[in-house]
A and B are shown apart, each in its own frame.
Chain A
Amino acid sequence: MDSLSDTTGTTRPSLQFEQIARIDARDKASGRTRYMSDLSFPGMLYATFVRSRFPHALIRRVDTSKALALPGVVAVLTAADVPGFNGFGIVVPDMPVICGDKVRYLGDTVALVAAESGRIAEQAAKLVDVDYEELPVVDDPVAALLPNAPKVHDKGNICLHTLIAKGDVEQGFREADLIIDHEYRTPRQAHVPLETESGVAVPEADGSLSMYAGSQYAFRDQLQLARILGMNPRMIHVVSNPVGGGFGSKDELTIQGGLALLAMKTGRPVKVSLSREESLVSGWKRHPFIIRMKTGFKKDGTLVANDVVCYEDKGAYSSLGGPVLNLALEHASSLYRVPNTRHEGWAVFTNNGTCGAMRGFGVPQVLFAIESNMNEAAEKLGLDSVTIRHRNVLHQGEVSPIGHTLRTGVSMDLVLDAIERSDLWQRRTEYKRAERPWLKRGVALAIAPQGAGLGLGIPDYGGAYIDLEKDGTFTLRIGLVEYGQGTHTGFVQMAAALLHVHPSRIRLIAGQTRDSVDAGPATASRSTYTASNAIAAAYDDFCNKVEQAVDGPDSTGVASSCTSRDGGMETPAGFRSYEQLAEDYAQEVLLRGEGYFVWPTADREIPGAAGLPHWIYSFAAQAALVEVNTLTGETQLLRVATALDTGCTINREQVEAQIDGGVAQGQGFALSEDTLITKGQVRSKNFSTYVIPTVQDVPSHEYIVLENPEGTSPLGVRGIGEVTMVPIIPAIPLAIHDATGVWVRHLPATPERVYRLLHPMMDE
């Protein structure tokens, strides 16, 4: 097992972060922000993606002649028109940009159309004649594993199989006084960002391509597009900001490949903005899981074994399905002290749409199962739900359920203590009084860790530049995209705190390939933590550069004696304001601090599980008050308390906003959201059938923000973007149990599902 070592960073706890409104708030609130769907260029064409008519079929022939003959149509492309590699995918590039021989789900593209107007492009799309040979549909991930199941891909239906084991799980069950053994099912949640997949590809006069499309990693889009186009990536410039929401749906490529092909073919800018229906049919989704979890306990609630089998419905293409499965398996016993574990999972190809990254990345699915088993055990053993968790939570230095040592900042007990002290938990008896006899109220809590960063075996790095401008202001350059989290405001606040200037003195250039620096993807709760390290390193380098500038060639340029204060720096030549430094040293040459950072990782991989383990985790606990109408099965989420460890809070308002958003998304997962697919056909194509919480549904909120500094961040921060939506997911069905006595093991807990649990005889 890997050796125990302490944290690597040096925190700077004395920093003061100026509390400001979001730097983009005014433009967004006033409508001045120009999203990708707002962009327009001279001579611009409009694209339509011709989607498959069948969820699984061979393509015999594609005839584009009628479409091409329609006046106003400029280009119709098929698979034969892809000049480079006809595939994309962050991990495995198995999704064709344009399908040539086979379609695997309804969102597959079989041709691309560019026309003078969107209406003409849509008419032309209907004229593309595709001759299909239908194939049997594979719509169940368990059935898809059978030897005689139709194959979605030539290599078969297994995208990934992982088995992680520790101790002797059978011996653990023999020692157990109580075994809880159930199957859980989770929904195919859609991200539904306000802005659907939208963008414009612009061919430039020098033969290069500019891609304006909301995404979560401009530098990776650049390489994926270079691979498709067969171009040098230096000839592709990607602008990914602003993004009208993502939640993981824009981590993978969406419309960029098709737009790039059409732009390079026609030599004109080409735009598309998907309709909500097309987005819901073709876009990435959260993987539905079937989870079989058998958990053994001693009489005092101590865990002795957990045997977990997960079936992940991958949908048609790989994307990030493998890493999602592995992160789920890392968290399948949460961070509880379980001596004997067996976590096994299959990511299985089906014709059920296609799934990829989504906030939580597999963790919400398995936390629903383990937290439910914990509460059921507590009830059967006569314990309360806080006591059983306290008895099992891990601390720093202990060994995780998958066998690695937890080395830094473990806050499971901290968030559990905090949620126990919350007003909602302390006064739960009072809160549970309902006004009508058919209305039942319940309160429950849950806790969650969430691995942050990309994990072992995946280089996880980031850079930032701090430039002193000629007028004494600063430009901060960092590649990380912002898609609603508020991170860009936080980046400016961090740099401002380090430089001792007001945030308004710093201009940010981010989320694009030409003028910012690669800092990795805006995923995996990594942005704020990565930026804290890269910006602090850039600040240190900037101090060195100032010393070199002031001292001249005699400077060692290693450990600077310069320090910032009051809008300037103490230098070997005395205090200089930034305006003076700029006047003296930044008129002819660029005074730039460069900072680079590599994430700390474990020194040993979990055998057979790529990307595992993680080194750093986020932590949250949440308690939920629900009211169940026993006559209709409808559940309302009335009140939530969240205890969240930020490590160090950069912007309190944004932390609360992340909690609000996380709870709403978790509420949707738990109560209403599911993309229904039958025989490969999508049944919930718009917001009348895909039901998300609205402002009328979200609960009142109690925020408890904890600051246990993460030692590997120089500012002490840790990511919070994902974990804010995780514990609420089990807390809601467990609160339904507290209210009514029924255990909900299939989410979402729709009125129909809860009603049937409350009235089981009605099914007969």
Chain B
Amino acid sequence: MKVRIKLFQDYKRYHDTPDYELDLPEGTTAGAIVQELGIKGPELAYLILILKGKRVLDDYILHDGDELVFAAPIGGG
């Protein structure tokens, strides 16, 4: 299955490009992508995963066509 990954803010530095596609086996969780990227420490603690406006946790099982956003819950105005 194909899953699109979008990295925002400081999480951009965990991959060559902030917006890319992965070909993944069925049953892959969002947490597996987090682990694969090597996000840890305070940045892991402050990470949110968003799927079409919905917060998901690391045990979320990805589906074909998903677009998973990695971001910190920073604010703006």
Contact = CB atoms under 8 A, between A and B. Distances in A.
B and A form one assembly:
yes
Interface string B58-77: 00000000000101011111
Interface in A396-425: none
A521 B77 CA distance: 10
Given A84-B45, A85-B42, A457-B9, A598 B73 contact: no
What secondary structure prevails in chain A residues at the interface with B?
A: loop
B74 A91 contact: yes
A17 B5 CA distance: 40
B76 A597 contact: no
A458 B8 contact: yes
B50 interface: yes
A217 B42 CA distance: 19
A224 interface: yes
A357 B74 CA distance: 12
A459 B71 contact: yes
Nearest to B76: A454
Contact of B55 (A219, A234, A323): A219
A220 B42 CA distance: 14
A361 interface: yes
Interface in B33-67: 41-42, 45-46, 48, 50, 52-55, 57
A228 B6 CA distance: 27
A357 B75 contact: yes
Given A327-B76, A451-B77, A463-B53, A85 B45 contact: yes
A223 B53 contact: no
Contact of B75 (A91, A93, A223, A722): A91
Contacts of B41: 85
A463 B77 CA distance: 20
A327 B77 contact: yes
A458 B76 contact: yes
Q: Please tell me the size bucket of the interface on A.
A: 35 or more
Contacts of A520: 73
B75 A90 contact: yes
A553 to B, nearest CB: 21
A524 interface: yes
B50 A459 contact: yes
Interface in A451-471: 451, 453-455, 457-463
A564 B36 CA distance: 47
A220 B73 contact: yes
B73 A596 contact: no
Interface residues of B, number: 20
A463 B73 CA distance: 15
A257 interface: no
A517 B50 CA distance: 13
Contacts of A234: 57
Interface string A58-92: 00000000000000000000000000110100110
Contacts of A220: 73, 75
Contacts of B45: 84-85, 223, 226-227, 230, 233
Contacts of B57: 234
Contacts of B77: 320, 323-324, 327, 357, 361-363, 451, 454-455, 523-524, 722
Contacts of B76: 320, 323, 327, 453-455, 458, 460, 524, 611
Nearest to B77: A361
A518 interface: yes
A251 interface: yes
A332 B68 CA distance: 35
Contacts of A323: 74-77
A534 B50 CA distance: 15
A521 B42 CA distance: 21
A620 B45 CA distance: 40
B53 A462 contact: yes
Given A223-B46, A227-B46, A454 B75 contact: yes
Interface string A309-345: 0000000000010011001000000000000000000
Contact of B52 (A357, A455, A598): A598
B58 to A, nearest CB: 10
A43 B53 CA distance: 41
Contact of B53 (A233, A453, A598): A598
A320 B74 CA distance: 9
Interface in A686-742: 722
B11 to A, nearest CB: 11
B8 A461 contact: no
Contacts of B42: 85, 87, 93, 227
Interface string A352-371: 00000100011100000000
Interface in A593-649: 594, 596-598, 611
8 contacts: A223-B45, A454-B74, A458-B71, A459-B50, A460-B76, A462-B53, A518-B55, A722-B77
The 8 closest A-B pairs by CB, nearest first: A361-B77, A596-B53, A454-B76, A227-B45, A461-B53, A220-B73, A85-B42, A455-B76
Given A217-B73, A323-B76, A458-B8, 19 more contacts: A85-B41, A85-B45, A93-B42, A217-B75, A223-B46, A224-B46, A227-B46, A230-B45, A324-B77, A357-B77, A363-B77, A451-B77, A454-B74, A455-B76, A458-B9, A459-B50, A461-B54, A521-B73, A597-B53
